[in-house]
Chains A and B, each alone.
Chain A
Amino acid sequence: MDSKEEPNELPILENPDHPDLAEVDGVVPVPPTLPVESASATEELLVANQEEERISIASNWTLVWWRFRKNKLAVLSGLILIFLVIIVLVPEFFATMDPEDTDARLAFIPIQSVHWIDEGRLKPWVPGVVGKRDPVTLKMIWTVDESEKVYIKLFAEGYSYKILGLIDSNLHLIGAADPEQAGKVFLLGTDRLGRDQWSRLAYATRISMTIGMISVGVSIVLGLILGGISGYFGGWPDMVIQRLIELLQSLPTIPIWLALTAALPRTWSPEKVFFAITIILALRGWTTLAREVRGRFLSLREEDFVLAAELAGCSQARIILVHMIPTFTSHIIATSTLAIPVMIVTETSLSFLGLGLRPPAISWGVMLQEAQNIQTLALAPWLLLPGVVVIVAVLVFNLVGDGLRDAADPYSN
């Protein structure tokens, strides 16, 4: 490793005549190798040397982490991503009530505003709502009843569930302080059937995120195997796989996905549909990765360390798995992170059109289906909230992916 990858800022050599020359984006110019003139300069050099030493013994992953850490936006996105993953693992903990609890009499309740202070103390509560039918339009009109205070607290007790299907629990992140009033907390309002949006969003996060991640997982496996065969062995398998990739990539994605999902029998259970959709999404997803993997294999095949491994008598499997793949794992991770949002958006679009997941499965797309009608939207704009979550999820995946990609490539600027 040369000093270019040093994670800490080095003094930038200013050129007084062309200040813009030193301002090269992200590239830190080689440290000054001027003759040492003063004690402070020697010291500086010494520090720089220590830095260099620290870098030269750091593993590849440490280097990637150091570079990633510098990108504050990516780190922040990473934290949001971790939070989303926690929701994926235990959506029940974040939900306030059963997402399937329907009560048509509680339809279209607006978002409740949380009041933080009560009687001069920090005691959050949400106002109760009173529904009245408009005598002319028969539309339900919800008015806020400030006199009825539903106190809420963190780590409230609510309906019981099993953490990851194993441990019994009835603890929820947020809920009514009095379990009797659990059915009166609708933090993000309710939908057409009076189902609680907040709780449904938690469950939808689980399904939508896992669809994205599983289909990318399948893509990685396919891409690694087929791209690896293509790049490592070459010859006719390469020929066949490359033609297959070209064929798949020239297909118009959305129409074909629509046709594929429309072909899924209506009688299938939600679980079956779920897996079918992950496979459908992965069917094209692997091609991009396979191309990248092939390119890497093609260039790595010529490297000395591969030849050395061959001469040392390593088996082909060992060369591929132990010597070649680790050199570009960080790239695969970056590419996959960037592929997940594409899958998420596709699933959301398909479900939104009614061709992807179907109720009773809950995903962001299924929830957005409720918002298809412009009249409904005008009446209950909070039904668009799942879309906002989609945007946030896609954004953080993209930012983390970009950060990883930049961090993974030591030669990039």
Chain B
Amino acid sequence: MVRYILQRLLLIPVLLVLFSIMVFALVQAPPGDYLTTYIATLSASGSSMDQAQVDALEKQFGLDQPVHVQYWRWMQSLARGELGLSLEYQRPNSELIGERLGLTIALALAAFVFTWVVAIPIGIYSATHRNSILDYLITVINYTGVAIPNFMLALILMWLAYAYFDVSITGLFSREFEQAPWSFAKFIDLLKHIWLPMIVIGVAGTARLTRVMRANLIDELNKPYMVSGRARGLSEWQLVMKYPVRLAINPLASTIGWYLPELFSGSLIVATVMNLQNIGPLLLRSLTNQDMYLAGSILLIYCALAIVGTLISDILLAWVDPRIRMEKS
């Protein structure tokens, strides 16, 4: 087990280097660079920049260097943990991202907990009360839940809240806390706001997980050990909770591998729609403005989150299922 985890951990730097090359190629790909975009915006608003200034900025950001040198500079700053300098904000990227990374992870984890807490009991109910009215209703909700793109759900909820209750449900903080330093009151304020985006982001996953849970459990419920348990006089509750539920949950651990990364990156669009201060909108803005070091760093963080998510799920899977543990060691 330990060896298995160590192997996986050793693979992470290799993957990250591969991803960093891919990511850098991507943010480099659009024609022009931040300065050309910036100058275009300036001239659109009627002002301009003289050539000497342009040259100086170019030199400062290393935009006059060949691509591999630029990549190397970025890697060097990454190794120092600085993530480079944002061209647009003129601030270190690590600061810009750091402010928002916590919220990104918090939101994803909240959605994750929501998914499991809701999906497992509903899945169990659905499987044990198969073909009941409630089961049909759950199935219908599940299909719709999977079909609604999460940004669409966000839009509909925002519209309903605005049109019928006259409240704006965007953002993660009330206005007075937006710029405030962290405090207990701010944390409480966050809790008051985070539940809605949490549900919006978690709905599709919940629907899918419920379906998988239901199907897995139904398979288990038909096994002979259920008959034998019943014959021994176990109560229905004990019988279901003790064996089949445990067996049905095991394979779900493997879904964490794709679900956690999906939550991290899936919150991106919802965050843009609902104006949540996580790294999603920052990425979007940096991509459109060709703020390449910032965009590259955020993309790399998404990659890292995806890798960590997969790793957690693999470890969990090996932990809950001895068969996999034996195979890997």
> Which residues of A are in contact with B by a Cβ distance under 8 Å?
18, 21, 24-25, 247, 249-256, 258-260, 262-265, 341, 345, 348-349, 352-355, 368, 371-372, 374, 377-378, 381, 384, 387, 390-392, 394-395, 398-399
Contact B29–A263 (Cβ < 8 Å): yes
Contact A377–B31 (Cβ < 8 Å): no
CA A133 to CA B287, docked complex, whole Å? 40
Which one of A18, A349, A355, A384 has the highest number of Cβ atoms from chain B below 10 Å of its Cβ? A349
Contact B26–A394 (Cβ < 8 Å): no
Contact B155–A384 (Cβ < 8 Å): yes
When distances are taken between beta carbons in the complex, the residues of chain B under 8 Å from A247 are: 15, 18
Contact B222–A353 (Cβ < 8 Å): no
Contact for B27 among A25, A259, A354, CB less than 8 A: A259
Contact A254–B227 (Cβ < 8 Å): no
Per-position contact with A for B292-312: 1 when CB-CB < 8 Å, else 0? 000100110011011100100
Contact B302–A252 (Cβ < 8 Å): yes
When distances are taken between beta carbons in the complex, the residues of chain B under 8 Å from A352 are: 151, 269
Contact A254–B265 (Cβ < 8 Å): yes
Closest B residue, CB atoms, query A394: B147
Chain A binding surface SS class: helix
Contact B272–A353 (Cβ < 8 Å): yes
Whether B158 sits at the interface, judged by CB under 8 Å, is yes
CA A394 to CA B148, docked complex, whole Å? 8
Contact A255–B265 (Cβ < 8 Å): yes
Contact for B159 among A25, A254, A355, A384, CB less than 8 A: A384
- A265-B31, A348-B149, A378-B159 known; A391-B264 Cβ under 8 A: no
Closest B residue, CB atoms, query A257: B265
When distances are taken between beta carbons in the complex, the residues of chain B under 8 Å from A251 are: 19, 22, 303, 306
Per-position contact with A for B152-175: 1 when CB-CB < 8 Å, else 0? 100110110011000010100000
Closest A residue, CB atoms, query B27: A259
Whether B197 sits at the interface, judged by CB under 8 Å, is no
- A252-B265, A259-B27 known; A390-B152 Cβ under 8 A: yes
Contact B26–A345 (Cβ < 8 Å): no
Count A-B contacts at CB 8 Å.
Answer: 124
Contact B159–A377 (Cβ < 8 Å): yes
When distances are taken between beta carbons in the complex, the residues of chain A under 8 Å from B299 are: 252, 255-256, 259
Contact B287–A262 (Cβ < 8 Å): yes
Report the minimal beta-carbon distance from B254 to chain A, rounded to whole angstroms: 13
- A24-B222, A399-B143 known; A390-B149 Cβ under 8 A: yes
Closest A residue, CB atoms, query B273: A372
- A372-B273, A374-B159, A387-B155 known; A395-B26 Cβ under 8 A: no
CA A348 to CA B151, docked complex, whole Å? 10
When distances are taken between beta carbons in the complex, the residues of chain A under 8 Å from B272 are: 353
When distances are taken between beta carbons in the complex, the residues of chain A under 8 Å from B35 are: none
Report the minimal beta-carbon distance from B236 to chain A, rounded to whole angstroms: 11
A-B contact pairs, 23 of them (CB 8 A): A21-B227, A250-B261, A250-B310, A251-B22, A254-B268, A255-B265, A258-B287, A259-B23, A259-B27, A262-B288, A341-B147, A345-B149, A352-B151, A355-B288, A368-B152, A377-B163, A381-B159, A384-B155, A384-B159, A387-B149, A390-B149, A394-B146, A395-B143
Contact B15–A250 (Cβ < 8 Å): yes
CA A24 to CA B288, docked complex, whole Å? 55
Contact A252–B264 (Cβ < 8 Å): yes
Contact for A391 among B19, B147, B218, B295, CB less than 8 A: B147
Closest A residue, CB atoms, query B204: A345
CA A209 to CA B149, docked complex, whole Å? 16
CA A391 to CA B145, docked complex, whole Å? 9
CA A390 to CA B150, docked complex, whole Å? 12
Closest A residue, CB atoms, query B31: A265
Contact B306–A391 (Cβ < 8 Å): no
When distances are taken between beta carbons in the complex, the residues of chain B under 8 Å from A374 are: 158-159, 162, 168, 170
